[in-house]
Amino acid sequence: MHQSSLALLILLFGSAVALGQSVARLDKSANLIPENETSDERVLAARTITALKRLDSEIIVYRSLGDFEAEGKLAQVSFAQFANDLQAVTNEIEPMLSRMPQSRLKTEITNAFYSYRDGAFWWEKIDQPRVVHISALTSTETRTSSDSAFQATVPYTVAIHWRQANKYLKRAEELIDGSRK
């Protein structure tokens, strides 16, 4: 019993030491960013912004609630098209975002990207494809009035995500242009 307790204690202590050393190495390397990384960050940021602008061109950003209620449209493309483009942009920008140092610019770009992704998540919840599967017709699921109320609010949630994404994208562009500190 003493031997197993001692072995467990040594294992836990060794794990704690190894974790402490790896965290210390990360902290030291995070502070050593070469000067040429700044220009590299701007290049990566410009590429990610260009990719995100492709998504921005597909959505509709409303200035007011009244405008949204009058039009009611979420995007200029179908959900399937937007989902495909979002996947392509995700594959393109995730490697670039991982190479960018932590900064306000990266935060704005990441927030824009996450807002597009979150909007697509909610849009998928209300998307009604034109093809109806037979299995969907025999659903035993019953809808309550609270389900209907929830479904009615989802388009507003999507529109809010689009507006936020557009705002973050504009902030990132301003940061890259140097007009915002």
* Residue 118 and residue 42 share a domain: yes
Q: Quick one: tokens of 76?
A: 């200029």
C-alpha to C-alpha distance for 98 and 132, rounded to whole angstroms: 40
* Residue 28 and residue 104 share a domain: no
Q: What is the pLDDT of residue 132?
A: 58
* Residue 139 and residue 112 share a domain: yes
Q: Which domain holds residue 106?
A: 36-177
Q: Which of 29-33, 71-75, 124-128, 166-170 has the lowest mean pLDDT?
A: 29-33
Q: What is the pLDDT of residue 2?
A: 58
Q: Is the model's pLDDT at 103 over the cut of 90? A: yes
126, 152 Cβ separation under 8 angstroms:
no
* Residue 41 and residue 24 share a domain: no
C-alpha to C-alpha distance for 130 and 154, rounded to whole angstroms: 19
Percent pLDDT > 90 in the chain is: 44
- Tell me the CB-side half-sphere exposure of residue 154, using CA atoms within 13 A: 17
* Residue 77 and residue 5 share a domain: no
Contacts of 61 (CB under 8 A, 6+ apart): 162, 163, 166
Q: What is the pLDDT of residue 47?
A: 94
* Residue 143 and residue 60 share a domain: yes
* Residue 15 and residue 102 share a domain: no
* Residue 49 and residue 26 share a domain: no
* Residue 43 and residue 21 share a domain: no
Q: What is the pLDDT of residue 65?
A: 86
Q: What is the pLDDT of residue 93?
A: 95
Confidence of residue 177 (pLDDT cuts 50, 70, 90): confident
Q: Is the model's pLDDT at 115 over the cut of 80? A: yes
Strand partners, 119: none
* Residue 58 and residue 2 share a domain: no
- For all residues of the chain together, what is the average pLDDT? 78
- The dihedral over CA atoms of 171, 172, 173, 177, expressed in degrees to the nearest 10, equals 100
Q: What is the pLDDT of residue 180?
A: 52
Question: What would the mean pLDDT of 145-169 be, rounded to a whole number?
Answer: 85
* Residue 76 and residue 10 share a domain: no
Count structural domains, the chain: 2
* Residue 63 and residue 7 share a domain: no
pLDDT tens by residue, 4-44: 555 554 555 565 555 555 444 444 444 333 445 556 888 99
Alpha helices (runs of H) in 104-144, residue ranges in sequence order? 104-126, 134-137
Q: Quick one: tokens of 127?
A: 């998307």
